Structure 1
Amino acid sequence: MSSKPTREARAEHEANGEPLLSLENLRVSFGDTVAVSDVTFAIARGERVALVGESGSGKTVTALAILRLLRDAEVSGAIRFAGEDLMMKSEREMRGLRGADIAMIFQEPMTALNPLYTIGEQIAETIVAHDGVSADEARRRAIALIARTGIGEPEKRVTSYPHQLSGGQRQRAMIAMALACRPRLLLADEPTTALDVTIRAQIVDLLLELQIHEAERRGMAVLLITHDLNLVRRFAQRVAVMEKGVLVESGPVERIFAEPQHPYTRRLIESRPQRAVHPVLPIAPTVLDARDVSVTFRTRATGIAGWFRAGRFTAVSNASLAVRQGETLGIVGESGSGKSTLAMALLGLQRASQGAIEFQGRALASYRGRERTLLRSNMQVVFQDPFSSLSPRHTVERIVGEGLELHRPELGRAARREKVIAMLREVGIDRTALARYPHEFSGGQRQRIAIARALVLEPRLLILDEPTSALDVSIQQQVLALLTALQHKYNLGFIFISHDLAVIGAMAHRVVVMQNGAIVETGDVEKIFSTPEHSYTQRLLAASMGTGQA
C-alpha cells in the first residue's frame, strides 16, 4: 500500500483539531518492574513539548514505546498518531512510520551512528528506504541536509565517518538524518547532554529554527526529552514532568516554572547549583604552583609523501596557575581546549609535558622512588564517568581500600576496613555497600564511591575532571554540597574542571579560562563572570546565559 493515502488521512485528521500524538494510560513493564505507569498526554500539530525528569523516571522508555522499539517489555494503553492506533500496527507498518513520519534523535550519536558507513551514506539510506529516490538524488539531498544543519564543507563532510567529526558535528548529522524524510513528529532524546556550552546553545538554536520552519510548512511537532530544565525554558511551549514512571505535572512552561504544583517539580526547579564556598584563609599555603607548563605531542604527517615526517601538536601552551589549601580553582573551556591534558601534566602523568611544577614547595620532578609513591597519595583525581573508572570486577571495599593497601602498608586488614567504612560514611554510603559492585549503584552513588576512593588517602590536592556532568540536577547538587563540606573539613585544594559555568560559579574561588591550549583569562570567579575581558570568555558566558546555565 502506498503511504500517500495514509498521510492524506492523517492530514485530514489534524485539520479537525485532533492532536498529532496522544498517549492514554500508557504502561510499560519489564517483568515485575513497572517503568512507566498510566501516562497520559497529547502533542498538537506544530507544538514543542518537553518531557522532563531525572534518570530512571521513564522518559526514554516512553519515547521508545511510541516507536514500538521495546522488544522485551509488556506495553499496554493507547498510542495514537494522527488518529491511528500504533499499538495495532504490524512491525512492517511501523518500519514505514519510523524515520518517515516519526523520527528520533538519540542521546549519544557516537553509538547511534554506524562507524562503518559515512555520514552521507547513513542519511541517504533513510531517504532511499522511505522515498524511493535514486542514489544520486539521495546523496544530493544528504548534502543539502548537512549544509542546512550547519556543518561546514558539506560536500566534503558527506564522505566523513562518525569518528572524523566533532561531538557537535555528530549531533548535527543525527539531526540531519532525523529530518531526512520530513517527519511529522521528532523525538529528541537528551540531544545536548554531552556537549560544550557553546555547542549546546548552537544545537538548541538549530532545533528551534528547524522546528519553527517545519511547523509552518508541515506542522512538525517536537517531543524533547531532557533533565535540563534550562533547556526546557528556552525551547518548549509545554512541559510534562515524570517521576519514577508517573506523570506528576504538566502545563505551559511559563506556569510550571512560575508556580510548580508538585513537590518533585519544585525540587527539580530549585536544584540549580548554589554558591556556598568557604573563604580561603589569608595564611593558607600554596599546595600546587605551576609555571609555563606546555604539552606537545608528536603527530604523523598526512599524505603518503609525508608518512614518515613527524609533525607536532601543542595541546597546552605556557600555562601557569597556583592552588592554595582550602581553595578551588576552576578550569573552564570547550572540548579540546586542553583542560584534561593540563590536569594530567599537573599530576605528573603526562610525559610529553615541560615546565616547572611544584607540589607543597618542592619540584614535582625531584620526587623519586618511595617519595614518588607517597606523592601519588597526596594528589588524587576523580574522573567524569565513575562507571568506567571503577573496576566492575571489584567490590566497593576493594575499590576504596586498594589505595590504602598500596600507600599505607602498615595498616592491617581490619584497620583498612574501618577506614574504608568511615570514608564511605563521610560520603553518604552505608557499610552494607562493602560487598557490592559498581553496577549495583546509581550514577550519583558511584560518584560518591569514586570520591571516597580518592579521599581515603587524605590527599592535599584533589583534581575533579567533570565530576558532575553525567549526573541529574538534584544528584549534582548533592555531590557539589558534599565536595564543599569535605573541602572545608579537610582543608583540601581542589582543581575543578568543567564546561558547566553554573557549577564553576557555585564551587570555585578563582577560575582559569582555556582556549586552544592556552590560558586566556584568570581571576576571581565573581569578577570574571561579571566583567569578562577576553572575547572568548565573553562568548562562553553569553552561550551559557543563552541556555540558562549561568
Structure 2
Amino acid sequence: MSAPVIAPGVPDVAGEPLLEMEHLGIAFGDTVAVDDLTFAIGQGERVALVGESGSGKTVTALAILRLLGDARVTGAVRFEGDDLLGKSERAMQGLRGSKIAMIFQEPMTALNPLFTIGEQIAETIVAHEGVSAQQGRVRAVELLARTGVTDPGKRVLSYPHQLSGGQRQRAMIAMALACRPRLLLADEPTTALDVTIRAQIVDLLLEIQRDEAQRRGMAVLLITHDLNLVRRFAQRVAVMEKGVLVESGPVERIFEAPQHPYTQRLIASRPQRHVTPVLPIAPVLLDAQAVSVSFATKAAGLRGWFRAGRFDAVSDATLNVRQGETLGIVGESGSGKSTLAMALLGLQRTAAGAIEFQGRPLSSYRGREQTDLRSNMQVVFQDPFSSLSPRQTIERIVGEGLALHRPQLDAGARREKVIAALREVGIDRTALARYPHEFSGGQRQRIAIARALVLEPRLLVLDEPTSALDVSIQQQVLTLLTTLQHKYNLGFVFISHDLAVIGAMAHRVAVMQNGAIVETGDVERIFSNPTHPYTRKLLDASLQG
C-alpha cells in the first residue's frame, strides 16, 4: 500500500482527536476502494472530504459506521479512543444515531416511505434514550421546528413523498440530530437541492454545528464534490483521488495554493465561459408565444377522487431560440422549467399558445413531416442512468432513433453512424456491445448526447444535463457541448438551476418563478444587473453557496 500524502505544514488536530483513522484500507474483492488512509477530526471541527465519484469518500464514512457489509476493512478507526472495527454489532448499534449520525445524499431513498416523518425521527429517540413514543413525537416536532420546517406540528404527520426536497433534507438533519451526536457525517447533503435551498441548508448546518460545538463539541465530516460549499462551510479539507488521500490542510491554504496536481485540477474545474456570438443573420429555430400548461387537480371525496380545480404549471411564456444560440432557463424546482421544455417539444397535450419550429406551427406537421420534426428536435435528460435502457447495448441505444427515423439505412450504415456519433463525444467503438451500467456517470451522459446527435438535429433541449456530475466531468461535458454547437451550429435550450453553468453556456437567459418567465435578456446583463427581486435572490444564493 502507498503512504498517504499529507501537505507539508498542515497542523495536527488541536487537542484530543474525536475520530482517528489510521492506515484504513477498504476493498471489495480485488478492488481497492480506500488505500492506507490516515486522518483525524478534532472535537467541534468542520472537515470536508472532497473528490470525484469513486474516490472513496462515501465508503470511508460508511466504514466509520461499519455499514459496508462484506467489504474487507483493515487498519484502525478510533472514536473517542475506542477502536470501532473491533466492536460488536450490538455495541455499534448503540453508537449509530446516538454518538455518530449520518445525513445521506438522497433523502427520498434514505427515508422509509411507509412511515411518517415524525415516526422516523421519534424511532431514533425512543431507541437510544428510552423515552415513550409520545415523548419522542414531541421531540420530533421540536427538532423539525429547529431545522426550519414550517408548520412542524403538521409536517410531523407527513410522509416523505408529501414533502419538498428541501423539507426532506431538513427532516433528515432533524433525524440525525435527534440524540445530539458527537460526530455528524454529512454525505452530499445539498447536491440535489436548488441554489436557494442549498444556501439555507448550509446556513442551518453552520448554525446547528456552532450551537452543538459550544455545548458538546460536535464535529462534522462533510462529504462533497461542491467546492463552493467546502469553501463556505469547512475549516479543514482533505482531498481524495482513487481511494488515496493526496492532500489536506486548512481551507484557505488548499484553495489559494493547492500542492497536488489533482487538487489543482479540481479547483480549476469551475465552468469557463466560451460562448461565440450569434450571427445577426442567424434564423429563428424555435419561437414560442404565450405558452401555458395547466393540469387538473384532484381531491378525495366520499365516492373517491374528483376534479377540484386546475394547476397552472406554465403561464404565458414567450421566448425564441436562434440557430447557434443557447437560451438558458433557470429557476428552482417546481418553477415550470421542464414542463415548458416538454411543451416546446410538442410533448404536452395540455399546452396552449403558439409554438413554431423553423417558421411553421408544430401543429401543422403531419405524417412523415412530424417524424422529421422529431428528429430535428432532440432532448438530453438530467439522469442518463434512468434515461438509458439497462437491457440494451450502447449500439442499440444510440442507433434506436436511426432505426425509426432513417429506415432506408441498412444495419452496416446504421452502425457506422453510431460509431461516428460516439466518436464525436469521445467514446470509442469498443463501447458498442457494452451496457450503461459499465460506464461512469460522465460517460453515460456522453452516450445520451450521442443518441441525440446521431439524428443530426437542429435544436437540442438539455434538461439539467450536468447536475449529477462531478465538477471536472461537468466541465468536460460543457466543453463538449460548446464544441458540438460551434461545429454543427446547433440551437440549445439549456435548463438548469446552477447559475454558474448557465453563465458559462448561455447567450440569453430566461428566469422562471411559479410557472412564469419573470425576467429575460442577455446573460451578462441579467447576471450583472438583475431587475426582478427573484433573480436577485437566485444570484445572491449562488454567490453564497
TM-score when scaled to structure 1? 0.96
Distance 1:298 1:133 in 2: 45
Question: What secondary structure sits across from 1:198 in the alignment?
Answer: helix
Contact preservation (8 Å) 2:50, 2:225: yes
Distance 2:386 2:133 in 1: 41
Instruction: Please give the per-residue CA displacement for 1:462-520, whole angstroms capped at 9, x wherever unaligned.
Output: 00000000000000000000000000000000000000000000000000000000000
Report what 2:222 is aligned to: 224
Instruction: Please give the per-residue CA displacement for 1:364-399, whole angstroms capped at 9, x wherever unaligned.
Output: 011111111110000000000001001111111111
Report what 1:424 is aligned to: 422
Distance 1:406 1:38 in 2: 52
More displaced stretch, 127-136 vs 323-332: 127-136
1:156 to partner: Cα distance: 0.5
Matches within 5 A, 1:151-170: 151-170=149-168
Report what 1:70 is aligned to: 68
Distance 1:208 1:42 in 2: 20
Distance 1:517 1:16 in 2: 51
Report what 1:5 is aligned to: none
Counterpart of 1:104, as a letter, is M
1:52 matches 2:50: yes
Instruction: Please give the per-residue CA displacement for 1:269-307, whole angstroms capped at 9, x wherever unaligned.
Output: 000000001110110000000000000111113554994
Distance 1:506 1:152 in 2: 35
Q: Which runs of 5+ in 2 are unaligned?
A: 1-12
More displaced stretch, 281-290 vs 15-24: 15-24
More displaced stretch, 298-307 vs 462-471: 298-307
Contact preservation (8 Å) 2:116, 2:157: yes
Matches within 5 A, 1:237-276: 237-276=235-274
1:16 to partner: Cα distance: 11
Instruction: Please give the per-residue CA displacement for 1:209-266, whole angstroms capped at 9, x wherever unaligned.
Output: 0000000011000000001111000000000000000000000000000110000000
Distance 1:306 1:510 in 2: 47
Alpha-carbon spacing, 1:433–1:309, altered in 2? closer, same or farther (3 Å):
closer
Report what 1:6 is aligned to: none
Instruction: Please give the per-residue CA displacement for 1:325-365, whole angstroms capped at 9, x wherever unaligned.
Output: 00000000000000000000000000010000000000001
Matches within 5 A, 1:191-230: 191-230=189-228
1:423 to partner: Cα distance: 1.0
Counterpart of 2:74, as a letter, is S
Matches within 5 A, 1:313-462: 313-462=311-460
Alpha-carbon spacing, 1:16–1:284, altered in 2? closer, same or farther (3 Å):
closer
Report what 2:82 is aligned to: 84
Contact preservation (8 Å) 2:296, 2:307: no
Report what 2:518 is aligned to: 520
Report what 2:3 is aligned to: none
Report what 2:41 is aligned to: 43
Distance 1:392 1:501 in 2: 32
1:410 to partner: Cα distance: 1.3
Counterpart of 2:218, as a letter, is M
Report what 2:31 is aligned to: 33
Distance 1:230 1:466 in 2: 19
Report what 1:8 is aligned to: none
Distance 1:116 1:306 in 2: 22
1:413 to partner: Cα distance: 1.2
Instruction: Please give the per-residue CA displacement for 1:133-169, whole angstroms capped at 9, x wherever unaligned.
Output: 1111111111000000000001101100000000000
Distance 2:52 2:304 in 1: 50
Alpha-carbon spacing, 1:431–1:309, altered in 2? closer, same or farther (3 Å):
closer
Matches within 5 A, 1:165-180: 165-180=163-178
More displaced stretch, 252-261 vs 413-422: 413-422
Counterpart of 1:371, as a letter, is E
Instruction: Please give the per-residue CA displacement for 1:20-74, whole angstroms capped at 9, x wherever unaligned.
Output: 0000000000010000000011000000000000000000000000001111100
Question: What secondary structure sits across from 1:20 in the alignment?
Answer: strand
Contact preservation (8 Å) 2:118, 2:137: yes
Report what 2:9 is aligned to: none
2:488 to 480, 487, 490: 490
Distance 2:98 2:410 in 1: 65
Report what 1:3 is aligned to: none
Distance 1:74 1:309 in 2: 56
1:309 to partner: Cα distance: 3.9
Count of aligned positions: 533
Instruction: Please give the per-residue CA displacement for 1:402-457, whole angstroms capped at 9, x wherever unaligned.
Output: 11111111111111111111111110000111111111100000000000000110
Q: What root-mean-square deviation, in Å, do the aligned CA atoms of Structure 1 and Structure 2 show?
A: 1.1
1:312 matches 2:277: no
Report what 2:544 is aligned to: 546
Counterpart of 2:210, as a letter, is I
Counterpart of 2:196, as a letter, is T
Q: Which runs of 5+ in 1 are unaligned?
A: 1-14
Matches within 5 A, 1:61-140: 61-140=59-138
Counterpart of 2:429, as a letter, is R
Report what 1:289 is aligned to: 287
Distance 1:310 1:71 in 2: 49
Distance 2:50 2:304 in 1: 51
Report what 1:278 is aligned to: 276
Counterpart of 1:155, as a letter, is G
Report what 1:475 is aligned to: 473
More displaced stretch, 38-47 vs 16-25: 16-25
Report what 1:12 is aligned to: none
Report what 1:7 is aligned to: none
Distance 1:30 1:301 in 2: 50
Contact preservation (8 Å) 2:394, 2:433: yes
1:529 matches 2:527: yes
Distance 1:81 1:544 in 2: 36
Contact preservation (8 Å) 2:300, 2:306: no
Q: Percent identical across equivalent pairs?
A: 83
Question: What secondary structure sits across from 1:397 in the alignment?
Answer: helix
Question: What secondary structure sits across from 1:495 in the alignment?
Answer: strand
Counterpart of 1:443, as a letter, is G
1:308 to partner: Cα distance: 2.7
Distance 2:404 2:126 in 1: 59
Counterpart of 2:377, as a letter, is M
Alpha-carbon spacing, 1:309–1:34, altered in 2? closer, same or farther (3 Å):
closer
Distance 2:218 2:45 in 1: 7
Distance 2:251 2:316 in 1: 47
Report what 2:7 is aligned to: none
Distance 1:200 1:107 in 2: 13
Contact preservation (8 Å) 2:330, 2:512: yes
